[in-house]
Amino acid sequence: MSAASAQAPGLHLIGCGPQNQAPGTVAELGFKAYNLARLARLGVPVPPAFVLGTDWCRDFLERGGRLPEDTRTQLSGALHHLEAASGLSFGSARRPLLVSVRSGAPVSMPGMLETVLDVGLCSSTLPGFLRQSGNPHLVWDSYRRLIECYAEIVAGLDGAPFAAARREALASAGAAALGELDFRALRALAQRELELYAAGSGHGFPQSPIGQLEGAIAAVFRSWDGAKARFYREAHGIDAALGTAVTVQRMVFGNGGGTSGAGVGFTRNPATGRAELYLDYVANAQGEDVVAGRSFSALLRSTLELARPLVAIGAPVGAYYHEVARRLGAALSIPPHAAVCNAVGAVAGVVSQTAEILVNQPTLKVFRVHDPAGSRDFADPEPAIEHARTVSRALALAAARRAGAVDPHVETSVHEQRAHIGPDTDYLAEAVARSTATGRPHLGHFST
């Protein structure tokens, strides 16, 4: 299929090269895909995707829950663009492209519509995925996830037998969570779930990647007319005629081990408003674990190593909205996160970095400073607190300079909590030396 025909009405490309990025509207793409397309046009590295617009959903429902006869032809043409952008091939035995199939309505309907991940995994693509990743745990974990998800969402099977199989696998391995299973246990679990799928459906799990994709797309469109979606629309006054789009996007794997994960990131703490990089994520998980509440999130505070790639990704967006951000920051006096400030052009024109050092008293005669370089004990509180002040100042200054602050200024404060344990004796429960280094950002590359 040519680039022109791939962008026929109702089918849109994202992240497949500037010449192939049709703009589309929110009503056509849904909010999720619409914003992905905007990010891609700004140069943010969005994984390549194509979108079946909301008119596909309306057509699907009008047909009584059937896709058009030429769907496979249109999908093959759209997949060609994803393959060209990724260097992978959908259904390939050597370098398989795996995709997610996600909903996306023009209005927010959180948790009401369905998603299918890891589409394209089957007996013929498993060996190629293993060669690509070199990670058998990832391969078999992803496959068992696809089987479970496809069984419930696409085939409409009861999830109870699959949940029981997961519990049996955990009990057999003496593990508390699926992430603790080795690849052999995950492989055995996947094989058991293939048996459950066949028993429940009367036929084997689909081993055709394009067939899987068609089934997943139909399931997402079908979820627009599901009971929970209808109830939500009625409760919120949402027009049933809007429909949902479907985004088919190259998979990015968060379940590849402890160095990967899934979650959401903010440039500001959403609970306190404090200017800091805030990531709420689950390690070794896929997005549906977070959305469905199957895992508990852990807060990961900003580190320079983590902030740099995130800021680099966000920089084009900040440059695009530079004037809006500058005016908003000036009006509201909002100090930005330091690294984001320097990279995107500054909300309020200042880099700000903070460091805190804790001092406590584990025994009556020991005052311990919890220095990142190693704890240090003092016999008296005054030198301990002064050392904490010095360390916090040095850390804040170094962080601000790395984030791009020019000639940063440091302010330090100490907050103590003491307890009286005798007529003349205080106990230092805790002291925190807090230093904040601020300075104007170096914005040469992002000024307007």
Q: What structural domains does the chain harbor?
A: 3-250 (3.30.1490.20), 261-301 (3.30.470.20), 312-441 (no CATH)
Confidence of residue 337 (pLDDT cuts 50, 70, 90): very low
User: CB count, 10 Å around CB of 155?
Assistant: 16
Task: With a cut of 70, say whether residue 347 has pLDDT above it.
Answer: no
Instruction: Assess contact for 156 and 203: CB atoms under 8 A.
Output: no
pLDDT tens per residue across span 16-70: 876 666 568 899 999 899 989 888 887 778 899 999 999 999 999 999 999 999 9
pLDDT at residue number 316: 54
Please tell me the number of Cα atoms within 13 Å of 317 on its side-chain side.
Answer: 17
Helix locations, 26-113, DSSP H: 26-41, 54-62, 71-86
pLDDT at residue number 255: 82
**Amino acid at site 436:** T
Instruction: Assess contact for 434 and 356: CB atoms under 8 A.
Output: yes
State percent of the chain over pLDDT 90.
Answer: 51
Select the highest-mean-pLDDT range: 117-131, 295-309, 386-400, 410-424. 117-131
pLDDT tens per residue across span 162-178: 999 999 999 999 999 88
Confidence of residue 155 (pLDDT cuts 50, 70, 90): very high
pLDDT tens per residue across span 234-244: 999 999 999 99
Instruction: Assess contact for 138 and 59: CB atoms under 8 A.
Output: no
- What DSSP state is assigned to residue 67? -
Confidence of residue 145 (pLDDT cuts 50, 70, 90): very high
Out of 11-15, 78-82, 256-260, 299-303, which region has the weakest mean confidence (pLDDT)? 299-303
**Amino acid at site 209:** P
pLDDT at residue number 363: 78
Nearest-10 Cα torsion for 320, 322, 323, 329: 140
- What DSSP state is assigned to residue 404? T
More confident residue, 284 or 212: 212
Task: With a cut of 90, say whether residue 286 has pLDDT above it.
Answer: no
pLDDT at residue number 438: 83
pLDDT tens per residue across span 405-448: 778 889 999 988 766 555 666 667 788 899 988 877 654 433 32
Task: With a cut of 70, say whether residue 100 has pLDDT above it.
Answer: yes
pLDDT at residue number 118: 97
Question: Is residue 413 packed enough to be buried (19+ CB in 10 Å), middle (13-18) or exposed (0-12)?
Answer: exposed
Cα–Cα distance measured from residue 268 to residue 270, given in angstroms and rounded to the nearest whole number: 6
Beta pairing class for 278-283 and 261-266? antiparallel
Q: What is the mean pLDDT of residues 222-231?
A: 95
